[in-house]
A = this chain, B = another copy of it.
Amino acid sequence: MSSPTSADRGRAVRARLLTAARELIGEIGWSAVSTRNLAQRAGVRAGLVHYHFESLPALLRQATIEGMRTTLDESAAWLSRADDPADGIEGLLTGLDRYAADDPESLLFVEAYLAATRDPVLHSQMAELMLAFRRDVAAVLDRAGHPAAEPTAAVVLAALDGFMLHKGLDPGLSAGTIAPVLRQLAAGTGRPGAATTEGEQG
């Protein structure tokens, strides 16, 4: 009685293709994803790609946006759940740290940034997502009384993405190394009480 056959199988194939796209983008790079290796990863025939999706770029766009939305929604939820903004940001950082080296999903974001440079449609969709997330981070900082919430949020997000980039080159770069600096940033300027930098950096 798991009856739904035609339409449901189609839905499953679409989902498998989107998941495979997210994996492959991180593993081999955005423009190296082809209809054939994508179909192989998803376990379907290559002809299905152009039946279920308008084009290969359209598929990659949709997979990317869905993946980013999921990750950013979870991150925003985690952030607003933390007592202290610094705790929330450090949580984001360590979450990033845990699966950055192994899982290529983290590279999906960077690949998407670059792809957005050359794809106007992807660009506008990603810009909307990222602006909303940055607003969330700024709001959390502002609510905690941070004197410069907006620019600090911009720097923190830039540092997080850049951390992902640099971590690939230098395995010695871990979340623990830069967490104190990010905490200091999240704490604001003249608040010595939140300065965890003293005593245990390195």
Residues A170 and B130 in contact in the complex (CB < 8 Å), given A160-B162, A162-B159, A195-B189: yes
Chain A interface secondary structure, helix, strand, loop or mixed? Answer: helix
Copies of this protein in the complex: 2
Encoded as 1 (CB less than 8 Å from any B CB) or 0, chain A from 163 to 191 comes to: 10110111001000110111011000110
Shortest Cβ distance from residue A92 to the other chain B in the assembled complex, whole angstroms: 13
20 A-B interface contacts by CB (under 8 A): A110-B113, A116-B169, A130-B166, A147-B198, A150-B201, A151-B180, A154-B177, A155-B163, A155-B178, A155-B181, A155-B182, A158-B158, A158-B159, A158-B160, A161-B161, A161-B162, A161-B165, A162-B163, A189-B195, A189-B198
